[in-house]
Structure 1
Amino acid sequence: MIPYLQAEQISKRFADSMLFEGISFTIFKDQKVALIAKNGAGKTTMMEILAGNDEPDSGTITKTKDTKIGYLRQNPDLDVNLTVLEQALKSDNPALQVVREFENALKHNDQKAIEELSVKMDELHAWDFDVKVKQILSQLKIDNFDQRVGELSGGQQKRLALANVLVNNPDLLLLDEPTNHLDLEMIEWLEMYLEKTNCTLFMVTHDRYFLDRVCNEIIEIDQNQVYGYSGNYSYYLEKRQERIEQQQASTEKAQNLLRTELDWMRRMPKARSHKAKYRIDAFYDLKEKASFRRREDNLELSIASSRMGSKILELDHISKAYGDLKLIDDFSYKFSRFEKVGIVGKNGTGKSTFLNVITESLSADTGTVDWGQTIKIGYYRQDGMDFKPTDKVIDVVKAIAEVVTFEDGNRMTATQLLTRFLFPPESQYGLIEKLSGGEKRRLYLCTILMQNPNFLILDEPTNDLDIMTLNVLEDYLAAFDGCVIVVSHDRYFMDKIVDHLFVFEGAGKIKDFPGNYTIYRNSVEEEEEKAKEKEKAQAQAKEQKTPAQKPKQQSQKLTFNEKREFEQLEKDIASLEEEKETLEEQMNSGELSPDELVEKSQRYADLKDELDEKELRWLELSEKA
Structure 2
Amino acid sequence: MAAPPLLTLQDIALTFGGTPLINRADLTISPGERTCLVGRNGSGKSTLMKIAAGLVEPDNGRLFLQPGTTIRYLAQEPDFSGFSTTLDFVEAGLPPNESTYRAKYLLESLGMTGAEDPGKLSGGEGRRAALAQALAPEPDVLLLDEPTNHLDLPAIEWLEAELRGTRAAMVLISHDRRFLSALSRATIWLDRGETRRIEQGFSNFEAWRDAFFEEEERDQHKLDRKIVAEEHWLRYGVTARRKRNVRRLGNLHELRQNRREVRRPVGSVSMQASEAESSGSLVVEARDIAKAYGERTIVDGLSLRVMRGDRLGIVGANGAGKSTLINLLMGRLAPDSGQIVLGTNLMPVVLDQARATLEPGMTVTEVLTGGRGDSVTVNGQSRHVIGYLKDFLFTPEQARTPVSVLSGGERNRLLIARALAQPANLLVLDEPTNDLDLETLDLLQEMLGDYQGTLILVSHDRDFLDRVASSVLVSEGAGRWMEYAGGYSDMLVQRGQGVEARTVTAKKGSRERQSAAPAPQASAKPKLGFKDQHELKTLPARIAKLEAAIVQLKTVLDDANLYARDPARFDKATAMLAQAETELSQAEDRWLELEMLQAG
TM-score normalised per structure 2: 0.76
The Cα shift of 1:17 comes to 4.9
5+ unaligned residues in a row in structure 1: which ranges? 101-129, 535-625
Match of 2:41 among 39, 42, 47: 39
CA–CA distance in structure 2, aligned partners of residues 280 and 458 of structure 1: 57
Per-residue displacement from partner, 1:87-117 (whole Å, max 9, x unpaired)? Answer: 2212250133xx35xxxxxxxxxxxxxxxxx
The Cα shift of 1:432 comes to 3.1
Whether contact under 8 Å (2:331, 2:342) holds in the other structure is no
Q: Which residue of 2 aligns with 1:484?
A: 455
Q: Which residue of 2 aligns with 1:115?
A: none
Whether contact under 8 Å (1:400, 1:447) holds in the other structure is no
Q: Which residue of 2 aligns with 1:531?
A: 524
Whether contact under 8 Å (1:252, 1:290) holds in the other structure is no
Whether contact under 8 Å (2:192, 2:263) holds in the other structure is no
Whether contact under 8 Å (2:230, 2:252) holds in the other structure is yes
Q: Which residue of 2 aligns with 1:326?
A: 297
Q: Which residue of 1 aligns with 2:90?
A: 88
Whether contact under 8 Å (1:495, 1:516) holds in the other structure is yes
Q: Which residue of 1 aligns with 2:504?
A: none
Pair 1:514–1:388, CA change in 2 (3 A): closer
Q: Which residue of 2 aligns with 1:227?
A: 196
SS in structure 1 of the partner of residue 524 of structure 2: helix
Per-residue displacement from partner, 1:107-160 (whole Å, max 9, x unpaired)? Answer: xxxxxxxxxxxxxxxxxxxxxxx1x33332232222x23333334432122112
CA–CA distance in structure 1, aligned partners of residues 120 and 85 of structure 2: 9
Whether contact under 8 Å (1:80, 1:148) holds in the other structure is no
SS in structure 2 of the partner of residue 396 of structure 1: helix
Per-residue displacement from partner, 1:344-389 (whole Å, max 9, x unpaired)? Answer: 1223322222123334444322223333352122211111245454
CA–CA distance in structure 2, aligned partners of residues 475 and 261 of structure 1: 41
SS in structure 2 of the partner of residue 95 of structure 1: coil
Which shifted more, 180-189 or 43-52?
43-52
Per-residue displacement from partner, 1:533-570 (whole Å, max 9, x unpaired)? Answer: 89xxxxxxxxxxxxxxxxxxxxxxxxxxxxxxxxxxxx
CA–CA distance in structure 1, aligned partners of residues 57 and 402 of structure 2: 23
Q: Which residue of 1 aligns with 2:277?
A: 307
Query: Aligned runs of 1:391-430 on 2, under 5 Å?
Result: 391-399=362-370, 402=373, 403-407=375-379, 409-430=380-401
Per-residue displacement from partner, 1:158-190 (whole Å, max 9, x unpaired)? Answer: 112111211111111111111112111221221
Q: Which residue of 1 aligns with 2:479?
A: 508
- Is it true that 1:179 corresponds to 2:172 in the alignment? no
CA–CA distance in structure 1, aligned partners of residues 434 and 381 of structure 2: 31
Per-residue displacement from partner, 1:415-435 (whole Å, max 9, x unpaired)? Answer: 222122221223212333443
Q: Which residue of 1 aligns with 2:135?
A: 166
Match of 1:138 among 108, 121, 127: 108
SS in structure 2 of the partner of residue 305 of structure 1: coil
The Cα shift of 1:281 comes to 7.3
CA–CA distance in structure 2, aligned partners of residues 416 and 472 of structure 1: 18
Instruction: Give, as a single letter, the amino acid of the residue that structure 1 aligns with 2:268.
Output: N
Pair 1:387–1:323, CA change in 2 (3 A): closer
The Cα shift of 1:297 comes to 1.3
The Cα shift of 1:438 comes to 0.9
CA–CA distance in structure 2, aligned partners of residues 333 and 69 of structure 1: 49
Identity of aligned residues (%): 33
Whether contact under 8 Å (1:385, 1:444) holds in the other structure is no
Cα RMSD of the aligned pairs, angstroms, is: 2.8
Q: Which residue of 2 aligns with 1:216?
A: 185
Which shifted more, 373-382 or 261-270?
261-270
Q: Which residue of 2 aligns with 1:198?
A: 167
CA–CA distance in structure 2, aligned partners of residues 524 and 330 of structure 1: 20
Which shifted more, 388-397 or 468-477?
388-397
The Cα shift of 1:15 comes to 4.0
The Cα shift of 1:253 comes to 2.5
Pair 1:147–1:290, CA change in 2 (3 A): closer
CA–CA distance in structure 1, aligned partners of residues 279 and 243 of structure 2: 76
Query: Aligned runs of 1:251-266 on 2, under 5 Å?
Result: 251-261=220-230
Which shifted more, 226-235 or 6-15?
6-15
Higher helix share: 1
CA–CA distance in structure 2, aligned partners of residues 525 and 463 of structure 1: 27
Per-residue displacement from partner, 1:184-240 (whole Å, max 9, x unpaired)? Answer: 122122112222322111121000111111111222222233222221122111111
Q: Which residue of 2 aligns with 1:466?
A: 437
SS in structure 1 of the partner of residue 97 of structure 2: helix
Q: Which residue of 2 aligns with 1:617?
A: none
Instruction: Give, as a single letter, the amino acid of the residue that structure 2 aligns with 1:368.
Output: Q
The Cα shift of 1:293 comes to 6.6
Q: Which residue of 1 aligns with 2:419?
A: 448
SS in structure 2 of the partner of residue 52 of structure 1: coil
CA–CA distance in structure 1, aligned partners of residues 219 and 345 of structure 2: 53
Which shifted more, 338-347 or 463-472?
338-347
Whether contact under 8 Å (1:441, 1:464) holds in the other structure is yes
CA–CA distance in structure 1, aligned partners of residues 390 and 301 of structure 2: 46
Match of 1:55 among 46, 54, 57: 57
- Is it true that 1:149 corresponds to 2:118 in the alignment? yes
Instruction: Give, as a single letter, the amino acid of the residue that structure 2 aligns with 1:413.
Output: H
Query: Aligned runs of 1:97-108 on 2, under 5 Å?
Result: 99-100=99-100
Whether contact under 8 Å (1:216, 1:232) holds in the other structure is yes
Q: Which residue of 2 aligns with 1:499?
A: 470
The Cα shift of 1:507 comes to 0.7
CA–CA distance in structure 1, aligned partners of residues 92 and 474 of structure 2: 37
Per-residue displacement from partner, 1:469-521 (whole Å, max 9, x unpaired)? Answer: 11011111111121111111111110010000111111111111112101111
The Cα shift of 1:336 comes to 0.7
CA–CA distance in structure 2, aligned partners of residues 389 and 67 of structure 1: 42
CA–CA distance in structure 1, aligned partners of residues 416 and 82 of structure 2: 32
Q: Which residue of 1 aligns with 2:8?
A: 6
Q: Which residue of 1 aligns with 2:336?
A: 365
Per-residue displacement from partner, 1:370-418 (whole Å, max 9, x unpaired)? Answer: 33352122211111245454543222222176544444x4321322221
Instruction: Give, as a single letter, the amino acid of the residue that structure 1 aligns with 2:178.
Output: Y
CA–CA distance in structure 1, aligned partners of residues 330 and 413 of structure 2: 23
SS in structure 2 of the partner of residue 11 of structure 1: strand
The Cα shift of 1:60 comes to 4.1
Q: Which has the larger radius of gyration?
A: 1
SS in structure 2 of the partner of residue 417 of structure 1: helix
Pair 1:224–1:81, CA change in 2 (3 A): closer
Instruction: Give, as a single letter, the amino acid of the residue that structure 1 aligns with 2:484.
Output: F
Match of 2:215 among 234, 240, 246: 246
SS in structure 2 of the partner of residue 179 of structure 1: coil
Which shifted more, 469-478 or 224-233?
224-233
The Cα shift of 1:288 comes to 4.2
Q: Which residue of 2 aligns with 1:126?
A: none
Q: Which residue of 2 aligns with 1:521?
A: 492
Size of the alignment, in residue pairs? 496
5+ unaligned residues in a row in structure 2: which ranges? 498-519, 528-600
Instruction: Give, as a single letter, the amino acid of the residue that structure 1 aligns with 2:119.
Output: G
Whether contact under 8 Å (2:83, 2:89) holds in the other structure is no
